[in-house]
Amino acid sequence: MADEPDFVPALGRSGLTRDYDRVIAVMTRERRWRAALLGLVAPAAGEVIVDVGAGTGSQAIAIKQMAPGARVIGIDPDPAVLALARDKARVADVEIEWIQGFGDKVDVLVDVPADKLLSSLVLHQCDLPVKSAILQAMARTLRPGGLLAIADYGLQRTLLMKLLFRQVQALDGWERTGLNAKGILPQLIADAGFDKVAEVRVVQTPTGSISLYTGRKPA
């Protein structure tokens, strides 16, 4: 019997990895929140930009396409999704550094201070200690004054969004996702050492609302 992974796979099941892009596109209004996240990151030539939990690479590829002169690094623990990411990057003809590893080790995996760090649809899959550990490692990785940008399921403000979010909870675990639904992320981001923490946008989707958060590492 194969060993179980030490992470929650894409869509909560390793057998669903190849369906990830199609499901996310349909069920999360992906174009809307990914475009908003790209706008928050605002990549520029010469920057080091790290995508923690890069998955199949959609956001990292979009960043590299907007700023070909940026150094873009994508980190994910799942070799299956990284294989898909590499294939997508080849098709898009962009050069991205892909690293297999966990988000709570990002400060060890990246060899220089990052100007910007982002993460999308990762933290809701993690237990509370792991959420905190990832955010703390991200803070250690950023240069002073660097930007953190996160897109993830956050506070579910309406009954409809709470009901829709149950689909995600059934896949990714009720306890860990429930913390996100209660709105814990801004406090966790601040506790990790970031300031100017803000929820800057909320996108309602067929699987609950996705919030976009920003923070800065103190200069």
What string of pLDDT tens digits covers the 219 residues of the chain?
334 446 555 555 555 556 767 788 888 999 999 999 999 999 999 999 999 999 999 999 999 999 999 999 999 999 999 999 999 999 999 999 999 999 999 999 999 999 999 999 999 999 999 999 999 999 999 999 999 999 999 999 999 999 999 999 999 999 999 999 999 999 999 999 999 999 999 999 999 999 999 999 999
Nearest Cα to 138, choosing from 120, 117, 123?
A: 117
Rounded to whole angstroms, the maximal C-alpha distance in the chain is: 49
Q: What is the per-residue pLDDT for 75?
A: 98
Query: What distance in Å separates the CA atoms of residue 56 and residue 81, rounded to the nearest whole number?
Result: 5
- H/E segment holding residue 68: none
Domains and CATH numbers, the chain: 10-216 (3.40.50.150)
Predicted structure pTM score: 0.90
pLDDT for the residue numbered 1: 31
What pLDDT shows up at residue 74? Answer: 98
**For residues 42-73, b (16+ Cβ closer than 10 Å) or e, as one string?**
ebeeebbbbbbbbbbbbbbbbbbeebeebbbb
Question: What phi and psi, each to the nearest 5 degrees, are found at residue 7?
Answer: -150, 165
State the pLDDT at residue 32: 95
Copy the structure tokens of residue 28.
């999360």
